[in-house]
Structure 1
């Protein structure tokens, strides 16, 4: 594979909060001595991207190329880069870090003092090319399609990190609230990590049917109150409640369901973005059960390497999760973002430039 001969590329960019993203022609980024230039083959559309476009989660500097779930081919490398020859298939860790601050040295790169997230605070992958530090490029096994590799960089990795934060042990039960892209990965990963039972909650009957195919007990939240959903979860868990609950939606109701569904010593891990205060009955929901409410943010590069092994050996199967592809077209991408805003999108849509 050769480096591009053209000087410009197409990119879908955000220019202002609340405005549609637009297709622009911009320069192909320069490759520094420790960087690699990637020809993007697949870039996911995440619910976070809908939050960015709406302004619910600030993006800067603008205009900015969105997209943080990225896979492609190495087409050029910097002078100081070794071990990533041109032609290597890779997926990209979306946290660009310094590598030298105390958090980076301790393996907590999501808290890097100067860290930048691709597609949020520096240009992302809704483009034909992207430049990243070589450290961010994780080799993608031949058995894993680009589309799956891209989605693994956020939805699968975030789910794995949340399960690790929840300290899931073999034989414990897991509740997954939200059976979208993150949820489908979470169900499979929880099973692969030895969960004795996985319960999935969602309003969408089709997503619950897919969750059931992956072995989850499906509980519908459609037209049900928080207490009614909790009762259904407890019935599914034989009255005890669950050991680990993953909240992947980001609403007041779903956070409450995650807490109220816990067994004694249970851990509720909140992943979904939500800026609204959530009322908590500290005695009944936390103190009385010695339960825990845990935040989970991003993931680690080491977890991406773990995911590659799981995907290449079939323990993580995204064939039924990546349900749609669209071209690098602003109208098509805006349509997916609109559907995500309405909570009416397919499980996962991937851009194929």
Structure 2
């Protein structure tokens, strides 16, 4: 089968011909129809976030059709449309049993620790495979599995309550979903921060108040719009120390900043004025949870999350095309979300 793989960090991905994987007794083999290209993939390619062992097929937003099941699998069967939770875990340790499988000691993320979705087939434990409703396309189902799922997890980690206000820093795939999900969860006001006018316009269509960080300091703008109070929740989805600082500084009393962007750089804050005085919180966001996927699919079916304006481009299973998208993402450009269309 064809697979686009990372061979050397800092170098372009390569197209390889490799064997089709066989499922184990509790595994499912999926014929991949769509795989989203995430900013994290650019981090893996660059070596900002180490991935391996190499060579490794990247891609962790995956949807397709079950082709073959192991003998112990009963939750899905051949021919089912599915989307894939990107973590393969043991399912038995205290972390898995407690619903925090991202901390499983033997857990592996597809496209980072084990073969991912920039390929024609993938094998995963059946517990990581979820039915994809016919009303949701493969492309949208794929993107739901990371950008939308992580946005929902960030809002849940930040304990967003109905009537609270939210600032979203970064309007790529995660941010565009986060704006909609915040509204769906009852946010009274959502402030969308970015440099890109097109992304700001899209966020405004989703009901957010656009804040152009290219023309003015977003903290100053949002504090003015909130009467000096600040917001209850801030999401940082970019991975820059500057925007992380802004996410903290825009908080009001008892505010919570959930940071999901990846960076190697240090974050500097003023402990008293920015954290201790207002009793604010900085919350780390890593991955998402399998138990959140049914809720996410339900919100999509209810029309509260629309990926149509977000997934605006497809590319083939081709190393040059995928590398081109990753080049754009490294510069914080490109479409909100691009999907590799593997089965037309």
In the TM superposition, what whole-angstrom CA distance separates every residue of 1:124-163 from its partner, at most 9, and x where no partner exists? 0100110111111011111111101100100000000000
Displacement after TM superposition at 1:100 (Å)? 1.4
| Residue matched to 1:233 | 222
Q: Does 1:245 align with 2:234?
A: yes
TM-score, normalised to structure 1, is: 0.96
Q: Gaps (5+ residues) in structure 1?
A: 1-8
User: Which piece of structure 1 moves more, 308-317 or 191-200?
Assistant: 308-317
Matched, 1:19 2:8: no
Among candidates 269, 277, 281, match of residue 270 of structure 2 = 281
Report the counterpart of residue 205 of structure 1 in structure 2: 197
CA distance in 2, matches of 1:194, 1:332: 39
> How far apart, in 1, do the equivalents of 2:242 and 2:52 lie?
30
1:149 maps onto 2:138 in alignment: no
Are 1:348 and 2:337 matched, yes or no?
Answer: yes
Report Cα offsets for 1:241-269 as digits up to 9, x if no partner.
10000010111110111011001110011
CA distance in 2, matches of 1:77, 1:117: 20
Q: Given that residues 99 and 291 in structure 2 are in contact (C-alpha distance below 8 angstroms), is that contact kept between their aligned partners in structure 1?
A: no
Q: Does 1:195 align with 2:196?
A: no
Structure 2 gap segments, 5+ residues each: none
Q: Distance in 2 between matches of 1:73 and 1:188?
A: 28
Whole-angstrom distance in 2 between the partners of 1:118 and 1:47:
15
Given the alignment, which residue of 315, 318, 322 partners 1:329?
318
Helix, strand or coil at the partner of 1:123: coil
Alignment of 1:253-292 (within 5 A): 253-292=242-281
- Aligned pair count reads 342
| Equivalent-residue separation in structure 1 for 2:171 and 2:312 (angstroms) | 13
- C-alpha distance in 1, partners of 2:203/2:227? 20
Helix, strand or coil for the counterpart of 1:219? strand
| Separation of aligned partners in 2, 1:114 and 1:331 | 33
Tell me what 1:3 maps to: none
CA distance in 1, matches of 2:76, 2:106: 25
Q: How far is the alpha carbon of 1:83 from its aligned partner? A: 2.7
> In the aligned structure 2, how far is the partner of 1:13 from the partner of 1:83?
30
Per-residue CA deviation, residues 153-198 of structure 1 (Å, 9 max, x unaligned), is 0000000000001000000000000011000100010000000000
Query: Of 297, 320, 325, which aligns to 1:308?
Result: 297
Residue of structure 2 equivalent to 1:115: 107
Q: Map Cα deviations across residues 268-326 of structure 1 (whole Å, 9 max, x no partner).
A: 11100011111100111011111111111111001011111111121111000001100
Is residue 94 from structure 1 mapped to residue 86 from structure 2 by the alignment?
Answer: yes
Cα separation, 2, equivalents of 1:103 and 1:83: 22
Q: How does 1:25-104 map to 2 (within 5 A)?
A: 25-104=17-96
* SS of match in other structure, 2:221: helix
CA contact 1:251–1:272 (8 Å) conserved in 2: yes
Q: Distance in 2 between matches of 1:176 and 1:46?
A: 18
Q: State the 4+ residue runs in structure 1 displaced beyond 2 angstroms.
A: 236-239
